[in-house]
Amino acid sequence: MSSITDDRAAGAVLGAACGAALAAGGGGGPDAADQGAFWTLLPVLLAAAAGEPLSNESTQDRIVESWTRTGLLPDPAGAARPTAAAARTAARRRADGPGGAGALVRTAPVALPFVASAATGGLARTAAQLAALTDADPATADACVLLAGALHATLRTGAPAALPLELLPEERRDAWRTAADPGPGPSPDGAAAVLLAAQAATTAVPVPEDLPGRHLRLALEAAADHGPAVAAVAGALLGARWGSSAVPAPWRRHLLDGTGPGAGPGAADLVRAAVLAANGGLGDGTGWPAVDRVRPSGPRVLVPHPHDDGVLLGSLAALDDLPPDVDAVVSLCRVGRRQVDRERTDREQVAFWLVDRPGRNPNLDLVLRDAADAVAALRAEGRRVLVHCAEGRSRTPAVGALYAALHLGVPAQAALDEVVAALPDAAPAPFLQEAVLRIGAAAAPPRPLVVVDLDTAVLDLASGTARLPEAARRDFAGRLTAAPGVVALADPQPGAVEAVRRLADEADLHLLVAPAVGSAGLQHRIEWLQRWFGIDAPVVDRLVLAPPALLDRGAVLVGAPAGAEGFPGEVLPPSGWSTLLDRLLAPGRTGRRPPPGAGPRSRERVAGRAALAGWLLEALRAGGGSGTVVQVAADVWTRHEPELRRAGDLLHTWQHDLRRVAARLREEGRLAPSTDADPGVWRLPR
């Protein structure tokens, strides 16, 4: 089975669960009594997940026993053990049983064990047999067969399927063709009405051109108005088409406790059961999803997000020793059943179906956005969040960067660069990097429009006039700034070059030149920009030759007020570029927002990191001037364990921080440069 087919299998079950929950929470309609029908499909799903053939009488006996325990079927008379044969007999004797629409909902898992094969004969017989356990009406059995067949086709292709009438006896097909015809005539009822309404609901809402997987949410929200049974069946069909990766995280979080008799599995449990059912009850090469713990493939990684200390970025191995204040885990890889500590009832896990291979994520942009939004939602609840994938190298930095871009106002490229720098050995897959930049650009707030007067805010023309030859000073007395060559002789104003570069990155920047300078003056200014910013610098293309009065009223003009007559927008006089940048790039202009709930952890960690430099040098001096990374780390831990334990996040990140501190000390000349022969050895300079 491919990962995409497994995703669809999980989607069929999750879609049914979410549809029933949506309708039960806000919908009514004629099927309100069936709102718990979804949870009665669990015995069928769990039997398939265990690899038990659903067509076997012994398997059906166990399913009937479970239904009897939960009250779907009455206890048999006397001390008789509930059996499938007894249930079928009782269904034939009942005029009004618990089947109908509920039997249709319970069919949702039946297609899963058959999805590996194109043959459908056994699937049709099994669906009819299970329907007969609660309802003897042939029309109900036909509806269940048609639903199972449609789900089977969609699971295999990912395309919506017509009802496979060829699975029914020839003599009953015309009745279904008539029922599906919207023309005059009696309307279908019972399971047939539910199936046809559900199928119609899946096509009533058009598929969005952008993020097509959003169709699942849009169509299922509309289907919920028709009651839980219709919504559950529509959810199964939509989930089989779009996959569990299209089921929104807020919906999956609300399935955590389940509803109804005997319910309890959350979204992750349903996903595991569905994938096992589609694979004959067997896990993959790692044992997932049948194992309690997936063995980590890389080292423990755990570092704070560079823009929000309330978010930790890590690897699967980090789950083995989580900080106690982490009360939410966002999993981007396969995780064992008990790998996230289930003894901690306050620690919530939200998993995402994200495969670290190109072409394996039909809902890539949707999943990435959903994961970033989930991190933001958990943080808004005051939770400390771990975001992890298998090794902390690819998926973790992608989602971490997108969280910063979408919810903290950090430009997507900067967010990606900074998150990658914060993680050891991070290397997001190219397709993930492209997706982060694509999503970030589409969601980014408009950048502030900033116009900078080149002559009064960037060029220090006074320095140029001071360097003019004496003859030029005499000839151009009173108008020295018009002297030939004055621009070439000028220095930039203090901080102007760095400020202009930053504005070019974070704002919609234009450099204003007055038309009075003429074509020769414009050429001199272009040459000056090329000298100070580079021959191919983008700022050269930002020159605007226009009077201020013609500029956009939404712009901010940085320049001398005397030259801004008629400008319709805000004017900021040159007053030092540090102050100007604070005003121009303030959160109100850029959309950059502070992280939610950033508290004292950040201050504790920053203070502790400052001490690391002294501890590192202390360890090297104690070791005779040199030591391996491992030796230095061991010495620091031996000498300063109490301080590390008091330093907030530093207790969990200090070894990674130690490497960053060493790099800084090397730049400052306080550590000797590394050598190719011994790259893992740190040395004091001689």
| 40: its two tokens | 């009665």
Cβ 644 vs Cβ 668: under 8 Å: no
CA distances from 371 to 17, 18, 401, 436, 438 (A): 20, 18, 11, 12, 16
pLDDT at 607 over 80: no
- Tokens 């920047």 sit at which residue? 509
Q: What is the DSSP letter of 507?
A: S
Percent of the chain that is helix, strand, coil (3-state, to 5): 55, 10, 35
Q: What is the DSSP letter of 456?
A: I
Q: What is the DSSP letter of 208?
A: P
Write the class of the CATH domain 449-585.
Answer: alpha beta
Q: Are strands 491-492 and 459-460 parallel, antiparallel or unpaired?
A: antiparallel
Q: What is the pLDDT of residues 668-684, one digit of tens each?
A: 788 888 775 565 688 89
Sheet strands (E) in 337-431: 348-351, 385-389
Band (pLDDT 50/70/90 cuts) for residue 260 is very low
Residues 6+ apart with CB under 8 A from 244: 7, 8, 10, 11, 14, 15, 271, 274, 353
- Tokens 């990684």 sit at which residue? 301
Mean pLDDT of 24-41: 56
Cβ 429 vs Cβ 394: under 8 Å: yes
pLDDT at 30 over 50: no
Band (pLDDT 50/70/90 cuts) for residue 662 is confident
Gap between the Cα atoms of 682 and 670, Å rounded: 11
The pair phi, psi for residue 386, each rounded to 5°, is: -100, 125
Count, residues in the chain: 686
Q: What is the DSSP letter of 33?
A: G
Least confident of 243-247, 307-311, 338-342: 338-342
Bigger pLDDT: 256 vs 684: 684
Band (pLDDT 50/70/90 cuts) for residue 599 is very low
Bigger pLDDT: 470 vs 575: 470
Bigger pLDDT: 112 vs 259: 112
Backbone Cα Rg of the chain: 33
Band (pLDDT 50/70/90 cuts) for residue 70 is confident
pLDDT of residue 263: 37
pLDDT of residue 180: 82
Bigger pLDDT: 589 vs 15: 15
Gap between the Cα atoms of 47 and 40, Å rounded: 12
In the chain, pLDDT over 70 holds for what percent of residues? Answer: 87
Gap between the Cα atoms of 230 and 281, Å rounded: 29
Give one DSSP letter per residue of 123-182, joined into a string: HHHHHHHHHHTT---HHHHHHHHHHHHHHHHHHHHSS-----GGGS-HHHHHHHHHHH--
Residues 6+ apart with CB under 8 A from 82: 61, 64, 65, 67, 68, 73, 75, 76
- Is 242 buried (19+), middle (13-18) or exposed (0-12) by CB count in 10 A? buried
Q: Where exactly are the structural domains of the chain?
A: 3-55+93-279, 302-442, 449-585, 610-683
Write the class of the CATH domain 3-55+93-279.
Answer: mainly alpha
Q: Are strands 491-492 and 302-305 parallel, antiparallel or unpaired?
A: unpaired
610-683 CATH choice from 2.60.120, 3.30.70, 1.10.12, 1.10.10:
1.10.10
Q: Are strands 626-628 and 681-683 parallel, antiparallel or unpaired?
A: antiparallel
Counting Cα atoms < 13 Å in the Cβ hemisphere of 50 gives: 12
pLDDT at 563 over 80: no
Gap between the Cα atoms of 198 and 168, Å rounded: 19
pLDDT of residue 637: 80
The CATH superfamily assigned to 302-442 is Protein tyrosine phosphatase superfamily (3.90.190.10)
Cis upstream peptide for 299 (omega within 30°): no
Cβ 668 vs Cβ 680: under 8 Å: no
SS3 assignment, position 627 = strand
Indicate left, alpha or beta for 35 from its phi (over 0: left) and psi (-120 to 50: alpha): alpha
| AA letter at 646 | R
Helices H / strands E in the chain, number of each: 27, 14
Average pLDDT of the residues of the chain: 86
Gap between the Cα atoms of 244 and 686, Å rounded: 60
CA distances from 262 to 122, 256, 313, 545 (A): 30, 14, 36, 74
Residues 6+ apart with CB under 8 A from 272: 49, 289, 290, 337
Q: What is the DSSP letter of 682?
A: E
Among 333, 373, 374, CA closest to 357: 333
Gap between the Cα atoms of 89 and 56, Å rounded: 17
- Is 56 buried (19+), middle (13-18) or exposed (0-12) by CB count in 10 A? middle
Cβ 56 vs Cβ 37: under 8 Å: no
Scored b (16 or more CB within 10 A) or e, 150-183 reads bbbbbbbebebbebbbebbeeeeeebbeebbeee
pLDDT of residue 208: 94
Among 48, 38, 46, 15, CA closest to 101: 38
pLDDT of residue 27: 39
Bigger pLDDT: 436 vs 40: 436
Q: What is the pLDDT of residues 185-229, one digit of tens each?
A: 667 888 999 999 999 999 999 999 989 999 999 999 999 999 999
Q: What is the pLDDT of residues 410-427, one digit of tens each?
A: 999 999 999 999 999 999
